[in-house]
Amino acid sequence: MHHPTIIRRSVSLATLAALLVSAASVPSNAQTRKPSASPPAAPAAATAAQVPAVAPKMRSRLMTSLTGWEVEEYLKRNDVLFVPVGPVEQNGGSPTDVEYVIPLAYAQELAEKGDGLVMPYLAYFYPGETTSSRATVHVSTSESLPYLKALVRSLVRQGFRRIVFLTSHGPSQQTMLPLVRETFDELHVPVLWMDTGMIRPFKPGDRPGFGDGPPNGRNLVTYGAYQLVGRLNDLPVGLAQPKHEVIKDPSNLSRYVPPFNGTPAGSFYADPVMHGGFVESVTAEQRDQWAREGAELIKSQVASFDVNGMLGELRKRDEFTKELEKRYGDHLPAAGR
């Protein structure tokens, strides 16, 4: 990606004041687009200046729990939607939708802090290597992508301009990266994708990453997520799986081609327990403790993450893209060309 060179110029205080007054008088969404380069017109989205410093309390952040009128009222002041996406697959002692429930829990907390809504129920997507288990629902990346793109088109028409997809599943990038790139080329809306492992504090100039956490951090996040979404009882108590010998793939391709950006060659898990391990017995007391600690961990990570700063930058990208539309017109890719 190439970034335009920034040219610094000195201006007088009088000129600067005049520019600021002029800019303030023009609504931030008052951009004229060519129909061929843009999706159908959506309801006017709220500008940054219109969004209150403290988000109004809502009875739910789940879009599917709200009435249509409540969604309409929300879109009058803001345009943020968090979309958790995940697979249904074998995952040790966790329910098969755990890698959907984790981003759902983070989405709910981020939406509360960032005054957004959450779009739930997107649980059946590409799983990866776990198809050796008959508990795994397999949907390919090429089958997943058209459906997700159709959803984005609808959401943009509805008035959501800042759409953030959240995942907690290693192979999700194989679906999400084409989604954000192709929807941007078509709609010119900068849809964002992030893994929940990036919801951590970081200093300006640092590259955000998975960060540090307790040794049992993934276990705590799992239990905490089910607690936060009101489904703790879905995690089993007193259930144990008989142990058996596990066969292993004799090949070692990663010695020559390390899987930095996904699996360099296709494979299946030789045994389902290789993803998540055997089901181990957990007591009710252990489950409750891990749920409390995990919920606190998720909340602390969200509290330390500047979601409003991220959403502000996403708006800047959207507004700058509109300027590029005016500058380059039909030269840019878009729907229908």
Residue ranges covered by each domain of the chain: 61-200+208-238+269-327
Q: What is the pLDDT of residue 260?
A: 67
- 2 pLDDT more than 90: no
The fourth-level CATH superfamily of domain 61-200+208-238+269-327 is Creatininase (3.40.50.10310)
- Average pLDDT over every residue of 132-146: 96
Give the pLDDT score at 154: 98
What is the pTM (predicted TM-score) of this model? 0.83
Confidence grade of residue 310 (pLDDT, cut at 50, 70, 90):
very high
Cα–Cα nearest to 335, from 33, 85, 80, 46: 33
- What is the pLDDT at residue 159? 98
pLDDT at 35: 42
Share of the chain above pLDDT 70, in %: 80
pLDDT at 263: 67
- Whether residue 37 is predicted with pLDDT greater than 70 in this model: the reply is no
Residue 261: per-residue pLDDT: 59
Predicted confidence (pLDDT) per residue in 239-285, tens digit:
999 999 999 999 888 888 887 656 678 899 999 999 999 999 999 99
The residues, any chain, with a CB within 8 Å of residue 83's CB and separated by 6 or more, are: 107, 118, 119, 122, 151, 163, 164, 165, 166
pLDDT-based confidence at 27, cuts 50/70/90?
very low
Res. 67 pLDDT band, cuts 50 70 90? very high
The string of pLDDT tens digits covering residues 225-244 is 999 999 999 999 999 999 99
Higher confidence at residue 3 or residue 217?
217
Nearest Cα residue to 85 out of 166, 163, 155: 166
Average pLDDT, the chain: 85
Count the residues in the chain: 337
Cα-based angle 275, 96, 138 (whole degrees, multiple of 5): 80
pLDDT reported for residue 229: 98
Cβ-contact 134, 17 below 8 angstroms: no
Q: Which residue from 232, 208, 210, 207 is spatially nearest to 295, judged by alpha carbons?
A: 232
- Give Cα separations from 222 to 108, 115, 170, 283 (angstroms): 15, 24, 15, 16
Least confident of 150-159, 210-219, 263-272: 210-219
Q: What is the pLDDT of residue 3?
A: 41
Tokens (6 digits) for 23: 């800019």
Which region among 201-205, 253-257, 288-292 has the lowest average model confidence (pLDDT)?
Answer: 201-205
| Residue 25 clears pLDDT 50, i.e. is over it | no
Comparing 45 with 136, the larger pLDDT belongs to 136
Given its phi and psi angles, is residue 161 left (phi above 0), alpha (psi -120 to 50 degrees) or beta? alpha
Q: Which of 66-80, 168-182, 197-211 has the lowest mean pLDDT?
A: 197-211
Residue 50 has pLDDT above 70, yes or no: no
Please tell me the predicted confidence (pLDDT) of residue 222: 97
DSSP states of 81-145 as a string? EEEEB------TTS-TTHHHHHHHHHHHHHHHHHT-EE---B------GGGGSTTPPP--HHHHH
